[in-house]
Structure 1
Amino acid sequence: MTELAQLPLARQRGLQVVERATKLRAGVVGLGKQALEDHIPGLLGSDAAELVAICDSSGEVLREQQYKLKVSGYTDAEAMFAAEQLDLVVVCVPHNEGRRIVELAAVHGIHVLKEKPFATSVDEAKQLADACKKADIRLMVTLQRRFNPIYTSFPQLADQIGTPMMVNAAYTIHTTDPSEGWRGRSEQAGGGCIIDMGYHLVDMLLWYFGLPDRLLADMSVSARPDRSYDTEDTALIHFSYDSGLYGSLLLSRFIGPKAEEIRLIGNKGIVHLERGRIRRLTNGGDVVESLSRKQAWPSAAVSQINHFCRVIEGMRENVSGPSENLTHLAFIQSCYESARSRAHVNPKELL
């Protein structure tokens, strides 16, 4: 069916439909793996944005990508923002550099799609939220699972399992050398598996259940004693709510194979979410219903870019903006405080 044939149905459903005359002009700061494998292919596949400029502090990396992409290149973000008429920028830099780039973009009135995490602390998150508000720019954190029907189906199935009792979540991958690159140094990364890869599962737990009333965290920096690094390779977090719901979250960048799951147990059934599949089961383990999804690469990245463009244009809700991500940093900072103090922490007190 053509787009023209779909318009009456879209209008009938109350969707705002705009015939796009021009694409939004986009830049990318930071040409690491995430940018090259997700965000740049997403921009190239988008019908809402076009890539016009890239930036990386490495001249060698920049020249290689300029040759491939045929766009303007810069080794300094401020120079790119001053020279290019950008509508949005995708920021994919080490965590300690994110604040500077976001603040520069705000000064130039450029909307920001920020690779997670939003910030490295609650205070930094509050300051960045204020900067975005004062500059009247939209900022959205890259949380791709919010655009995946497997994950959006979770609340609907959870409504069918009675009173929630317990939730178990885990996200693990195997990194041969946790000390490799800037992610092994807390000065640059702000932490390890909790603030980095764990941000996605933290987002899901907060989306589904809200900020817990207390948590207790333990973590390891000893998976490779023959290597020198100070960011946690593994963390186990216990959390609970005054409602009676409680659970655990296991995060690791050393435990293989790569796996991701959230399992919610209620008094009338279970919801089990895995990568690419979600099932509702009886308490005895029999499958009641199941939904699976296979998607062609890089459709998730394209969907995210297109959604953010519509956020900028006022056509879509910003599902992961600055205010929403304050709770993420409260959860994460509480984990680090709990691990240091070996005591329960109430993340709500940080807000």
Structure 2
Amino acid sequence: MIKFGIIGMGTRGQIYADTIAQSGSAVVSAITDINKESLEKNIKKYKTNGYTNFENMFEQEELDAVIVATPDFLHKNPVVIAAKRGIHIMVEKPFSTDIAEATEMATAIKQGGVKCLVGFENRWNSPFVAVKEAVDNKDLGEIITLNSRLNDTIYVPTKMLKWSTNSSPGWFLLSHSIDLACWLKNMKPTKVFAVGTRKKLVSMGIDTYDSIQATITFSDDTHATFTSSWILPESMPLLYDFKYEIIGEDGSLYVDLQDQMVKKAGLRYDHVHTLGTPINGKLTSAPSQMLLSFIDNIRYDTEPVAGPEAGLLNTRIVSALHKSIEEKEIQEI
């Protein structure tokens, strides 16, 4: 059995622990959480060892792999320490919010000879899996442009995340959209230009962007446009609204994750969240499928679909778009 440690037992950490429990080839050997109440609850729930400090976990436990589910800006130390100890790593996206840190992480992973999967979960999201197959089969011909809109409700930066001031729609949302573009295009991005708005959240004492719009140029002189806001009203049917269009020479594809195929009629407009619905008690969501693929990478000594190179590139792009906003100029990637 592959022995996993999990750093961070919020919603994501618990999804991963539940997935490991169903895998049949891995076990949660230890968890860490700085919240003692959460830690104690999850120690009992998963019948595992628990620590408030991940360094103590590394010292005390013999682990094969670790999942880093800490906030966006706190990935470096656990990743570097795990890599130096020869422990395989799955780390949430973004890989890092700092290029120097991301570079150090990628170097440590390479020198440690460990496997690393960066959590770009939409590569395992069934609509995008179908899109990727169609693109790779040349059903659309060459991709001419991609357009993405990924928004969250204001619940996310004001209530769900305690650390949204240390993040942005760029790091939390655009990192998903941009990774998909790089994955689908399979071509080097060269330039980015972006604009951003700070009004609503700043007025609430949260010093970060409300929305960001960006255009990326690829090496074949095609372009992709991205927009992300996280101030939608909490009355939205879902927490997120994700739409993506892929336009090729010979056809187009349109993805709408807000439309979950089932609509609920009642006192208010509503959706039933169908993507990722457990079937026969088995977890089917993109995060779970992503982790199961990583477990197989370890079992069969194969390379993860989204490794540290993809993570480092993503950090460079999102860093460049933030710099573009600040300097009001196109940035080279």
Partner of 2:63: 86
State the secondary structure of the residue aligned to 1:317. coil
Asked if 1:274 corresponds to 2:251, the answer is no
The letter of the residue matching 1:273 is V
**What is the CA deviation profile of residues 256-303 of structure 1, one whole-angstrom value per residue up to 9, with x for unaligned ones?**
54211211223432211232989xxxxxxxxxxxxxx85433323332
Please point out which of 30, 33, 54 is paired with 2:11.
33
The letter of the residue matching 2:129 is T
Partner of 1:46: 23
Counterparts in 2 of 1:134-153, with a 5 A limit? 134-153=111-130
TM superposition shift of 1:129: 0.9
**What is the CA deviation profile of residues 216-272 of structure 1, one whole-angstrom value per residue up to 9, with x for unaligned ones?**
111122123531122223111122235342231011111354211211223432211
Partner of 2:163: 183
Asked if 1:166 corresponds to 2:152, the answer is no
Q: 1:156, 1:245 → 2: CA distance?
A: 21
**What is the CA deviation profile of residues 165-184 of structure 1, one whole-angstrom value per residue up to 9, with x for unaligned ones?**
33211111102373454432
Identity across the alignment (%): 22
**Counterparts in 2 of 1:106 and 1:50: CA distance versus 1, 3 Å:** same
State the secondary structure of the residue aligned to 1:299. coil
Partner of 1:299: 284
8 A contact 2:196–2:209 mirrored in 1: yes
State the secondary structure of the residue aligned to 2:6. strand
Structure 1 residue ranges, 4+ long, deviating more than 4 angstroms after superposition: none
Partner of 1:14: none
**What is the CA deviation profile of residues 53-94 of structure 1, one whole-angstrom value per residue up to 9, with x for unaligned ones?**
111112221112112222111111111111111111111112
Q: 1:42, 1:160 → 2: CA distance?
A: 34
**Of 140-149 and 320-329, the range deviating more from structure 2:** 140-149
8 A contact 2:93–2:311 mirrored in 1: no
Partner of 1:4: none
Q: 2:40, 2:277 → 1: CA distance?
A: 29
Q: 2:250, 2:332 → 1: CA distance?
A: 30
Counterparts in 2 of 1:261-340, with a 5 A limit? 261-275=243-257, 294-297=275-278, 298-300=283-285, 301-340=287-326
Q: 1:92, 1:177 → 2: CA distance?
A: 17
8 A contact 1:48–1:306 mirrored in 2: no
Q: 1:156, 1:102 → 2: CA distance?
A: 32
TM superposition shift of 1:197: 2.6
Point out where structure 1 has 5 or more consecutive residues left out of the alignment: 1-22, 279-292
Give the alignment's Cα RMSD to 1 decimal: 2.3
TM superposition shift of 1:162: 3.7
Q: 1:56, 1:270 → 2: CA distance?
A: 45
**Counterparts in 2 of 1:123 and 1:58: CA distance versus 1, 3 Å:** same
**Counterparts in 2 of 1:330 and 1:310: CA distance versus 1, 3 Å:** same
Partner of 2:169: 193
Partner of 1:121: 98
TM-score by length of 1: 0.80
Q: 1:168, 1:306 → 2: CA distance?
A: 30
Point out where structure 2 has 5 or more consecutive residues left out of the alignment: 261-273
Q: 1:93, 1:51 → 2: CA distance?
A: 17
**Counterparts in 2 of 1:312 and 1:244: CA distance versus 1, 3 Å:** same
**Of 307-316 and 131-140, the range deviating more from structure 2:** 307-316
**Counterparts in 2 of 1:48 and 1:277: CA distance versus 1, 3 Å:** farther
TM-score by length of 2: 0.84
Q: 1:116, 1:294 → 2: CA distance?
A: 20
Q: 2:289, 2:81 → 1: CA distance?
A: 26
The letter of the residue matching 2:163 is R
Q: 2:318, 2:289 → 1: CA distance?
A: 27
